[in-house]
Structures are given as C-alpha cells and as structure tokens.
Amino acid sequence: MIVAERKPLNEIKSFVENYKKILIVGCGTCTTVCLAGGETEVKVVASGLRIGFLKEDKEIEILEDCATRQCEPEFVTEIVERVKKEGVEAVLSLGCGVGVNFMADKLETIPVFPGVNTEFFGAAVEPGVWVEMCAGCGNCILHLTGGICPIARCSKSILNGPCGGSKDGKCEISPDVDCGWNLIVERMKKMGTLQRLEEILPPRDWSTSHHGGPRRVIREEIVSLSQEGGESTKAKEAAKEKESGR
Amino acid sequence: MPEPSIAESSYAPCITACPVHTDTRELAELVTQGEYEKALELLLEANPFSSVCGRICHHPCEENCRRAKVDAPVGLMKLKRFIIEATRDYRISLMEKMLSLPNRKEKVAVIGSGPSGLTAAYDLAKMGFQVVVFERSKTPGGLLGNAIPRYRLPYAVVKEDIDNILSIGVELITEKTIGRDYTIDDLIKQGFRSVLLATGLSESSTLNIPGIDSKGIFLALPFLKTVLSSRPPVMGKRVVVIGGGNVAIDVARSARRLGAEKVNMVCLESRDEMPAWKWEVEEAREEAISIMNSWGPKAVFSENDEVKGLELKKCISVFGPNGRFNPQFDDSDTATVLADNVIIAIGQRGDLTCVRGSNVKINPGDRLECDPKTLSTSTKGVFTCGELLTGPASSVEAVRDGHRAAKAIAHYLETGDLLIQPLMELPALEELPDETAEKIKKLTPITIELLPAETRLKEFTEIERGFTEKEALEEARRCLACTTGALADEEKCAACLTCVRICPFDVATVEKTAVMPEEKCQACGLCAAECPAAAIALKRFGTNQMKEQLQGLLASIKDKMVIRPLIISYCCLFEVTSRKFISEKSESYKKSGIYRIMIPCIARLSVPDILSPFELGADGLTIIACSEGSCLYPTAEERLLGRIRQAKSVLEEVGVEGERIDYWKTEGSAEVSWTSFWEISRRKLHQIKRIGNKKP
Amino acid sequence: MEPKILKSESNLERVLSNGHFAVTVEIGPPMDCNAEIVLEKARLLKGLADAFNITDNQTGVVRLSSIASAVLIISEGLEPVMQMTCRDRNRLAIQSDILGAAALGIRNCLCIVGDHQSFGAAGKMKGHPGAKNVYDIDSIQLVSALKGMRDEGVQQGGDSLEKRPPFFIGAAWTPLGDPIEIRPLRLKKKIEAGADFIQTQGVFDIGEFKKQMKIIVDMGLHECTAILAGIIVPKNLGMLKYMNSSVAGVSIPESLIKRMEQARLKAGDDKKQAKKNQAEEGIRITVELIKQVQEIPGIRGVHIQAIEWEHRVPEILRRAGLIPRPVFPKKGG
C-alpha cells in the first residue's frame, strides 16, 4: 500500500486560504487504510480549517467528498463534475501524490493541492506503524535476498551488504531503524540459504527505476480493447515501441 | 400485537421471548437517557397491563436475557415497574389525550374483564370502536382483581391499568353474568356487531376422592376471592394445599397469612416438574411452607364431617410418554398428613354457561369450539381469547391474545372476513459466545430484598419494593443492548482492519469488508469512532448525528444573548443518578453558557465530534467521563484520550489553544463534581480570547 | 626476498610485497580550502608511514576533497591512499575521479561505501542530512569496477580504456561488526572483487579480533590480500565510551575503559592534569594494541587513525618501534 501522512493544517491552510469555496477530497483506498486521508480525515481537516478560518473571521465554504480511488478516471470524473457544477475554486486532495496529479490533470485550470505527504510503499507492521518495504525499482531481486528488499530497507540500498554500520540489528542512521541487511542475513540463515550471499551481485541497472525516466505499464490486450484515440492510442504506440526494443 | 420498533434480521431475546414483544432493550436505553415518558409510551403500546406485568409477570425477558451468561440477567421486570412508578402523572395526562379518539359506529361486547378481554377492549377502543365490557364480579380484572393475593399484586396496581383502559372510552358493566343475566344473542339483538368471549378459566377443578365433601375443604379460586374480601376465611392451624401450580402457591401463602401455622403443599410433580415458577416456590419455602412432592390425594379423612387430614399415595410419574398429563400411582405406598383445612388447587376450567342460549358450539371435550388462528368461534362475529382459547396461561400471554382478538374483530368488522393470525415468532439473536462473555465486564445486579418472611406473614402488604431511580439507572446500564451494535457500510469500508485491531471484544473481522457479528458486538462504538473511512455506524446510538445535534442546540440560542464563554460539555450518561440532574439543572447551566450533551459512553466520540463544537462557535469543550474504573469497555478511555490528543493538535495546527478541551473523570457524584469541572473550564476560558468574532 | 610482479606503482604495495609490516596513517582534510593544513600534517608525518589515507568527506561532512588533498601530500613527498566513497558519486563520477586521480599520480585507492549523510549532523555540526545520497554501486562493486579498469582495461559499463589506472586497490573491513558471522564472507567477497589490501575498523578487543582472524587464516584469505589492522587512538575516557556505545563494529573491553578511568581519577580535580593523564594512557593503550596485533597471524600492517590528533602519531610510532620505514629506490618493480 502507498503510505502517506497528513500535512500539518497550517500548511494546508496556507494553500487554500485565498479561495472562497474549496472541496476536500479524501481517497477511499490507500490513504484511508493508512489513516491519512479517508472520509474521517476529510472531516477532521474540514473541521480544523473551519476553526482556523473562524479564528481569522474568514468566510470560506468548505465542501467534503471522498473518492473510492483518486487514481481511476471513473472515480475522479464524479469529483470533477461536482467541482464544475458547484463552482469549487480549489481542491484539496487527501489522496496520495498520484491522486493529486491525476485530479489536477482532469481539472486542468482548477488547482489541486496536496493535503498529505506521500511517503512510501509499505506494510503496517503493527497498528499505527508502517514500514517501507518496496522502492518500486522496476526490477525485483527479492528472490536473491530472502524476501527482504535491500533497495528499500537498507539505508544505502547496497546489494552486497551489510556495510560496517550494522549494530545490534540496527542501521547506523538510527537505533530505531532496522538494518535491512541484518534482516536479510538472519532470514537467509533461518532458511539455510546464507551461502547464496557469497555471490557478488553486480552493479544493477537502474534504468527500470525512476532513474530511467517516468515509467508506464501497458497491458496490451486491455489497451487494444479500449476505444481508439487519445490516451489509448498513445499507449499502444508506446507498447509497440517497447516491443521493438526502444 | 405491536411490531418491534425497528425491523431487524434478529432481535434481542428479551423481545422475542416476550409474548407481546415488548422492546425491553429499548426501554432500558430510554431509562438510561432519563426518557421515562417515552419508555412508558413504548411499554403501554405493547402492554396495557404494564403495571400488573411489572409485578407478576413470569418475565421470560429475564429468563432469556443474554447477560445471564456474563453474570446475571438484567432486572427487566423491575425496570418496567420503575417506568410505571416514575410516570404516574404522565400516564394520567396520556389518558386524557387519548380520549379524543375517532369514533366508529360499530359496537363490540367483551365478556370478561381479565387481561385478555380488557386488552382487546383497549385496542378496539383505540381504533374507535364502541366497546362494552361485561364482568360478572363486582371487581374487574378477572383473576388479577379476584384471585391473585395482594402481597403479590396490590389492587391499586391492577386498578392503574384498568383505569387507564377504561379512561379512553371503554364502558364497563359489572355484576352481570352471561348465560344467566343475558345471552350472546341478547347482545347481538342489542346491536353489538361482535362479541368477544374472554371469560377465562374461572372455575376451580375439584377432586373426586372419598371424603371430599367434608367441612373445611375449599376450592382455590373461591378461597382466593374470599381472601380478598372484607371477610377472609378463618384457617385452622394445619392446612394442606393440593396442587403444585402458581395458584396453589398463592393459596398456600395466603393461608399462612391467614394464620395457618403449618401449611403443607401436596403435589404430584417432583420438585423440578412443578409448574409453579421457581421463585414463587422459593418464596413459599421462605415462608415455612412445606412441599410434599410426588404425592397424590387418595382420600380425605374426617371426624364429624370435619376434615382431619388427607391420605396420600405415591405418584410414580405424572406425564405419559406423549407428554400428556397421565399420573401413575403406587397405591401401596401411602402416607397421611393432618389438616384442619384442605384447599384444592389442581387447576381451573372455563365456565361454558356463557354460550347458553346461543348457537356457539362446544366440543365433545367440553371446550369451546374455536380456531386458534382466527380466534373465531363457530358463530360468525363471536370470538374468543385468553385462557378460554389457550388453556392455562400467564397474564402477558393473555394480553397477547387480547391484541390478537382486537385485530381479528377489527378485521372482521371492516371486511366481514376472518383474519388468519398465526402466533408471530421473531428470530432471536444467537447466544452470547463464551469468548465474548468472558470479556464483558461483570456488573452486580441490583437486587431488591424481599420483606423478611416473618414480617410478610403478618399481613397482605406487598413484599417487594420497586427500584429507586438510582437503582433503575444502574440496572438499566447493565443491558447489553443486543443487536444495536456496529454495522459497516460495504461501499465505504476499505478493509483497513482498524476495527479488527481496536475491538476490545475481538468481534470485528474483515472478510471482504468489515463484519461485526451481531451476536458478539457489544455496541461500544470504538470502531465507529476510529474508522478512517467513516464506514461504521452503531445501529442505535452513534455520534454520526452529533454535529446536527450541536447545530440544533446552538441554533436554538442564536437570537438570544449568548453567554461567553460558551462551553459544550459531552458527558457520560452512565454517571447520572437522577434524571432531574439531566433536565432541570441543565437549564440553569445553559444560562451560564454551558450546554450539555449526554452520551452513553463518551468513548464513542470521534475526532470530528470533538472538533465540531469549535467549528460551530463554542469557546471550549469539557468532556466528562464516568468515574475511574467504571467504564464498561476495555481500552475505551485510552482510545478516547488518543482522539482528544489528536483533536488538540488539530486545534494547535490552526492556531487555536488545545487547552480549550478539558477532560475529566467523574469523582463521587456527577451532581457535585461536574459542576465544579464546568466552573474550572469556565474560569480558564475567561482568560482566553474568543476564537473569532462571529456569533455561533 | 625476490620481489613479486607488482600490480601498481604503489609504495604501499612494495612495502607489503617485500614482507614488511606496513604502516598507514590517516590524515583528515580540513572543512575549508586551506591547503596549508594538509601540507602541515604532511610535513609532520613525512617518512613515518608507508602511505597516508586521505578521508573522503568522512562522517558525511563536507571537507577538502580527497583527490585534492592527496595531490597536496604528494607535493610534500608522501604517498596517499585516496579514499573513495559510494555515497556522493554515481558510477560515472567515481570512474571519472579515479581516472583523474591516476593522472595526478595517486596510486592507492580505498573503496568504501561511506557513512550515511545523516552522520554529518552531530553535536554542533549541521552537516547535510537532507542531501540526496547516491549509492549507485556499493563498495564491493566499486572494488570490482576499479579492478576491471586496472586489469581488464574496461570501464564498468564495458567501454575500454586505453591507459589503465595503476591502482593498489584497498577495501575496508569491520571484523567485529554485526552480524558477526557474515563478516568473513564479506571479506572474502571484497577479496574476490579485487581488494589488494584491507584496512580494518579500529580494533580494541584483541581477543575477539584474534578469533575472527583465526577464521580468516583458516579460510586462507590472509594470503590473498594484505590485512592492516585499524588502530584508533583514544584521546580520553569520553571518546572510548562514545565509540563503545555508538560506533558500529567497535567494542571496547571493560579493562581498557577502567584503565582510562583510573588515569583520569589519578589527577583528582586538576582538569588539565586529567586530560594529560588520559592522553598518555591513550597513547600507551595504542602502543600496546599495535604490539598485540603485530602478533596476530595474518596481520600484515597497521592503519593508524588519530582523529585530529595527528601530531601525536610520531610518538606512537616511535614507541611502537615502527620507525624507520623501509625505503625503496624510485620507479622500481
């Protein structure tokens, strides 16, 4: 899941305080689950802003909504329609960065502000604690490291760890951070596969990650079913390009 | 029979077990809220004999209460009695209101003024029919007025219900016996469009054994009736009561009160088989009444035609293989018991002289021919209900059939047809699972001590008092509020597992979306307050409408001068020991700018609930929890404190002082401690500037 | 001893290949562009060690670059060991700097992953904890890349080099770091990748270090590389305690901490004397440690780190009997 954290309200307030009518949109998927931007948080933010504006004697109308997912056209369309119909001047998204981008793309001239800081892809290791577990690097090597990702879970993303900074199972950067490579070693020891670490992993090809530029994933069989024109055609062309080896 | 107030897939067993489906669970909640009048209305809707049933009901609601698995059932019958006792004046004013009923021209005659007849009369009168009730005795109420001893049921209580019924326009004619003074045909001739036979089982059965004609032998019902009269019978020192039912117990206990020193009950059944209610048997034992189980009467022996005792034979078995009454005796195993009086309480039967002079048919088995589904006799327009229909039954069952009879008659009068009314069975909520029961906080039930046996034997005064208000509130709090728990909206639920993780009773699970099985949910509301998708609501009391409630409250003072600082106070409803405190004092506090919102467990407050008052213009929020250690729900307080911290930080983030939110725990009595908390909050807020310049 | 065919033009390599017990000393560049500071340290230490490590923005603090500092000490006639971390440069920048360093006459390179940039913010130092780190390749991959450039004449990406950089390739090793059982394997990987010499993390716990070295010797790794034991000079009790609790891979035996404590207590309330006593005890400990590691099979030298205390190094080396250093005619091999 994408893990996010709500921005402080004073920052959010500074984004929207010069509009007369704003819409706060939560996201019913990832940011709901990580307690950063679901319907309840929309209420909290709306309430907090109203109190803040009340204090300054500002009259700003705050509307509330929540999309099932802010990263799908069908769900976002409903929001876009509402924004246009009700004359909303600015949108505050409590979805992840994807939601903000996606709604901004659809709304074009109406500003969409981020209400949360999008943090990482992570898991809820215990109630209220989320830990980064995947860096979305586009070339998974988890089969080599006992299912623990050195890219996401080692502070230095090294492939031949652990470095000399591992102490009592913790990373040199903080006693609160687990040493990813210590986890890998412990896991592979348990699995009886520790000897696999003898192999030197060569420098990796980061072009599959963001370092290779903005990425896209195309499922051609689905794309070909969509209507011709617009985004889908572009996607198809890109798919062909990809097939032909760039 | 009224339908339950909310249609549900399953109902609290106290509701399903009650023959009239009284929404007992809702009554407990209304008591908690101090809404005694609403409780009374709900009670009377289900049962016009609520005063009576608050005293002598066999209370299947309590027998089926799911709380029994935790500690002990909730004292629901006494809660009902409390409601009645707390609303006497209101009940009178209700009656006055009900007089202005629509009138319909059809006349209905009800024969017999027991609970079933009068219930039917009441319902029919409410529907606007002209109802006349005929009663052969001087006192209406059937067995309630003419048999049940006053130590159990003071007549004033019966009168309360009957007056209520009569007050809405039911006419009562007493001391007229059907079949003797008038006939069914006479009534029809007089223009009654329908006749309801509700004469009950008014005759005591007797025994056919040698010596039964001796002096000093009584039948139960005539005996009990005399007991109620101004000249009660004189009892010898030793009395034997034959029978093991509730009437037998009434007889035995009355005999004790009339001076009998040694009362023996002789009954065919073993202790466990005795049809009398267990608590009645227990109370009888306390009054030094001996019970000789598994004995049957063989012969009365007498001297000079005066009864001297009873010869008994051993009863081997009471019921045949088909469950029917078919006692078997061992004639060789005999015993004798000495007696100055013998009272026969072996059962009652109907007096079918009521149909004399009409074509209403009687079965070869000497019972009235009638259809239990339509309540119709063989004659069109003549219906029956109560024990005449069902055989021996409890008062509340009689009330149930009274309701059914009224429906049947109304339908008949409107359509000319018979209405098929099978007994309605409601699906009951499953049993409380052991693992859930273990997690529920035990709360000692409020028990009312009966008068000591020696005191109660001196007279016929009522042996049990009702709840005080404090006791009623405390007992009502024990209700598990079955089936009113959390419900997740599948559309909104993100399956985030928050509910699963925080549920203190391990109730919530996530399948595709969150599920809170009804039979486990304790309606603590923690999951609803914490759900990030705002997908969970409590079926009965959620805080989802809190903002609207606040808006309404604040709007009501909008035009008046607003006292500053304006404080909203969320208070734990469970701490209140008197309703007076909820209603009266709040007025005086409003004048000082304090607006109270009572919440059954403030741990249900979500962060938006905590912020709303400020958004709506309040200067401060004082949250008052119940006293230390009294919260019913594990972890509820820490959860609430977490939400308060969150709300405070939201305020701080927008430049508003977090100290505007106060949290207190009740110390000692709410009446004393709350006022001091408010005073502290008020003083503090005087030092802080208002949030804005606008009025709320 | 018949000299072997050398891989590089490094003096350090020659010292080692001639069977001498090698000595390297660390020099920390300043946090500004004052060349004089580097030069002064160079003059102070000239001739006392076989090569001198120049740290690369050590602990994530911006300092005069290791290449520039290395060139500065060459000008004073010292041989540098240029440290190269993976934190601040991607594979392009690293290789480019290596080529540049080779062109400037640097012949030793210690390949390390580098402390995390968050270390830079410590005490009064602000550092650059908000910096974006690189870690495009790790230290083992760096060793391998460097070896490829030197021995195969190819860049990491595969393009060929006409002139190969003649480096003596070093790597760091934390023998007592957690998880300890993985440490010999790590050393093995570094050697396989191409590490000619190894400088270890500072050693205090001789007993544990011996155990770990026994494993290394049993694996035969000591014959594939030259292991120089790291010696950190403890200045005072506070430093010992700090290293013991906070520096990964360093554990200090209670006996050493007690000794330092005693030294401080002996001075009573006299703070100046206390400082002096502790300094003396620190040097005494250092000398003992040097002598102890000299006895451990597989150890072929020491690497002395006297952080901002370089002026005490001559005394240490003298007392340890490591001076004078072997001298070879220029342009040998």
Q: Residue B696: what pLDDT?
A: 47
Contacts of B608 in chain A (CB under 8 A): 40, 43-44, 47
Q: What does the alpha-carbon distance between residue A66 and residue B492 come to, in Å, rounded to a whole number?
A: 9
Residues 6+ positions from C96 with CB-CB distance below 8 Å: none
pTM for the model? 0.86
Measured CA angle at B397 (ends B180, B18), to 5 deg: 165
Of B240, B292, B290, which Cα lies nearest the Cα of B270? B292
Is pLDDT of B293 > 50? yes
CB pairs under 8 A between A and C: 95
Residues of A with CB below 8 A from B689's CB? none
pLDDT for residue C4: 67
Q: Where do the structural domains in chain B lie, given as residue ranges? A: 13-94+426-476, 106-202+350-402, 204-348, 486-538, 547-686
CB contact under 8 A, B655 and A10: yes
Q: Which residue type sits at B227? A: V
User: CATH topology of B106-202+350-402 equal to that of B204-348?
Assistant: yes
pLDDT over 50 (residue C1):
no
The whole-number pLDDT of residue A129 equals: 94
pLDDT of residue B1: 45
Q: Chain A: residue nearest B694 by CA?
A: A57
- Residue A72's nearest CA partner among A28, A130, A41 is A28
Looking at residue B688, its pLDDT comes to: 86
Q: Which two tokens stand for residue B23?
A: 């929404």
Class of domain B106-202+350-402: alpha beta
Per-residue model confidence as pLDDT tens digits over B41-59: 999 999 999 999 999 999 9
The predicted model gives B252-256 an average pLDDT of 95
In one-letter notation, the amino acid at residue C251 is: S
Domain covering B547-686 in this structure, CATH number: 3.40.50
- Closest residue in A to C60 (Cα) is A173
Note if the bond before C324 is cis, omega within 30 degrees: yes
| Partner residues linked to B11 by β-bridges | B428
d(CA A209, CA C234) in angstroms, rounded, equals 44
Q: Residue A203: which of C114, C190, C135, C192 has the closest Cα?
A: C135
pLDDT tens, residue by residue, A203-221: 999 999 999 999 999 998 8
CATH number of this structure's domain B13-94+426-476: 1.10.1060
In this predicted model, what pLDDT tens digit does every residue of B300-324 receive, in sequence order?
A: 999 999 999 999 999 999 998 888 8
pLDDT of residue A244: 56
Q: Verify whether the Cβ–Cβ distance A57 to B614 is below 8 Å.
A: no
Share of chain B above pLDDT 70, in %: 96
Pick from B619, B620, B626: nearest CA to B598: B626
Lowest mean pLDDT among A45-49, B224-228, B452-456: B452-456
Domains of chain A are 2-119 (3.40.50.2300), 140-207 (no CATH), 216-243 (no CATH)
Q: Which residues, 6 or more positions from B553, have their beta carbon under 8 angstroms from its beta carbon?
A: B595, B597
Beta bridge partner(s), residue A100: none
Give Cα separations from B688 to A9, B121, B648, B660 (angstroms): 22, 64, 15, 9
Spatial CB neighbours of C185, under 8 Å, sequence gap ≥ 6 = A197, A198
Is B486-538 in CATH node 3.30.70.20? yes
pLDDT at residue B514, as a whole number: 95
Which residues in chain A have Cβ-Cβ distances shorter than 8 Å to B646?
44
CA dihedral in degrees (A93, A97, A102, A106; nearest 10)? 40
Distance CA B403, CA B383 (A): 13
B530's CB contacts (< 8 A; 6+ apart) are B498, B499, B502, B606, B639, B643
- Give the pairing of strands B514-515 and B509-510: antiparallel
Q: In whole numbers, what is the pLDDT of chain C averaged over residues?
A: 95
Instruction: Give SS3 for B341.
Output: strand
- The predicted model gives B548-563 an average pLDDT of 73
Q: Which of C116, C156, C248 sits opposite A156 (nearest CB)?
A: C116
- pLDDT one-digit tens code per residue, B80-133: 999 999 999 999 998 888 775 668 889 999 999 999 999 999 999 999 999 999
Q: What is the pLDDT of residue B461?
A: 86
Facing A173 at nearest CB: one of C116, C138, C193: C116
Task: Write the residue in A40, A66, A127 that is nearest to B501 by C-beta.
Answer: A127
Distances B357 to B186, B268, B389, B536, C277 between C-alpha atoms, Å: 9, 39, 20, 65, 130
Per the CB < 8 Å rule, is A55 touching B655?
Answer: yes
Which positions 165-184 of C are in contact with A (Cβ < 8 Å)? 172-174, 177-179, 181-182
Is the CB of residue B114 less than 8 Å from the CB of residue B142? yes
Residues forming a β-bridge with B382? B195
Task: Give me the residues paired with residue A174 across strands.
Answer: A171
Q: What is the model's pLDDT at position B690?
A: 82
- C87 in contact with A, Cβ within 8 Å: yes
B548, B653, B656: best mutation site toward chain A, by most A Cβ within 10 Å? B653
Collect all residues with Cβ–Cβ distance below 8 Å to B452 and sequence separation of at least 6. Answer: none
**Chain B neighbors (3+ CB pairs < 8 Å):** A
Contact check, Cβ <8 Å, A162/C138: no
User: A: neighbours with 3+ CB pairs under 8 Å?
Assistant: B, C
Is the Cβ–Cβ distance between A81 and B684 less than 8 Å? no
> Quick check: B354 and B178 in contact, CB under 8 A?
yes
Where is pLDDT greater, at B323 or B386?
B386
Q: Which two tokens stand for residue A191?
A: 């699995």
Q: Return the pLDDT at A246.
A: 43
pLDDT below 70 — which residues of chain A? Answer: 225-246
Distance between CA atoms of residues B380 and B385, nearest Å:
15
Query: What's the rounded mean pLDDT across residues B535-540?
Result: 89
Architecture of B204-348 per CATH? 3-Layer(bba) Sandwich (3.50)
Task: Report which of B676, B540, B532, B671 is spatially closest to residue B601, judged by C-alpha positions.
Answer: B540
Q: Return the domain boundaries, chain C.
A: 11-319
> Which pLDDT does position B96 carry in this prediction?
82
Partner residue opposite A200 with nearest CB, options C114, C135, C192: C192
Q: Which residues of C104-117 are buried (b: 16+ CB within 10 A; e: fewer)?
A: eebbbbbbbbbbbb
Q: How far is C209 from chain A (nearest CA, A)?
A: 15
The kind and range of the H/E element at A33 are: helix A30-33
Q: What's the pLDDT score for residue C330?
A: 64
Report yes or no: C136 at the A interface, CB cutoff 8 Å.
yes
Q: What is the Cα–Cα distance from B264 to B439, expressed in whole angstroms?
A: 46
CA distance C128 to chain A (A): 13
pLDDT above 70 covers a percentage of chain C that reads 98
Q: How far apart are CA B617 and CA B551, in angstroms?
A: 10
In this predicted structure, the answer to whether residue B274 has a pLDDT above a threshold of 50 is: yes
Tell me whether C137 touches chain A (CB under 8 Å).
Answer: yes
Cβ-based neighbour number of residue A57 at 10 Å: 10
pLDDT band at C66, cuts 50/70/90? very high
In this prediction, residue B103 carries a pLDDT of: 80
Does residue B559 have a pLDDT over 70?
no
Q: Which residue has the tokens 């290949």?
A: C17
Cβ-Cβ contacts under 8 Å for B566 (sequence gap 6 or more): B593, B595, B617, B618, B619, B620, B696
C11-319: which CATH number, 3.40.50.10860, 3.20.20.220, 3.40.50.620, 3.40.30.10? Answer: 3.20.20.220
**Chain A residues bordering chain C (beta-carbon distance below 8 Å):** 155-169, 171-174, 179, 182, 185-186, 189, 194, 197-198, 200-203, 206
How far is residue C199's CA from residue B35's CA, in Å, rounded to a whole number? Answer: 83
Q: Do A32 and B532 touch (CB under 8 A)?
A: yes
Q: What does the mean pLDDT of chain B come to?
A: 91
Strands, E assignment, B436-491:
486-488
Answer yes or no: is pLDDT of C244 > 90.
yes
Helices (H), chain C: 11-17, 35-45, 66-75, 91-103, 139-147, 183-193, 206-219, 237-246, 254-266, 271-294, 313-319
Within a 10 A sphere around the Cβ of C209, how many other Cβ atoms? 23
pLDDT at B2: 47
Which whole number is the average pLDDT over B581-598? 73
Nearest CA in chain A to B608: A44
Q: Considering only CB atoms, which chain A residues are within 8 Å of C127?
A: none
Q: What is the mean pLDDT of residues C101-105?
A: 97
Query: Using 50, 70 and 90 to split pLDDT, how confident is the model at B651?
Result: very high
Q: What ipTM does the predicted assembly reach?
A: 0.92
Query: How close, in Å, is residue A108 to chain B by CA atoms?
Result: 28
Residue of B197, B136, B144 lying closest to B172 (CA atoms): B136
- Structural tokens at position B219: 């039948």
CB B632 within 8 A of CB B601: yes
Number of H helices, E strands in chain B: 26, 23
Does position C50 have pLDDT exceeding 90, yes or no? yes
The CA distance from B139 to B142, in Å, is: 8
**Residue in C179, C189, C249 with CA at minimum distance from that of residue A190:** C179
Q: What is the dihedral of CA B52, B53, B54, B59, to 10 degrees?
A: 160
Q: Looking at chain B, which residue has its C-alpha nearest residue A34?
A: B496
Using CA coordinates, name the residue in chain C closest to A194: C182
> CB distance C178–A167 less than 8 Å?
yes
Whether B586 shows a pLDDT value over 70: the answer reads no
Enumerate the residues of chain B whose CB falls inside 8 A of the CB of residue A33. 494-497, 532
- Which residues on adjacent β-strands are paired with residue B663? B623
Interchain proximity A10–B501, CB inside 8 Å: no
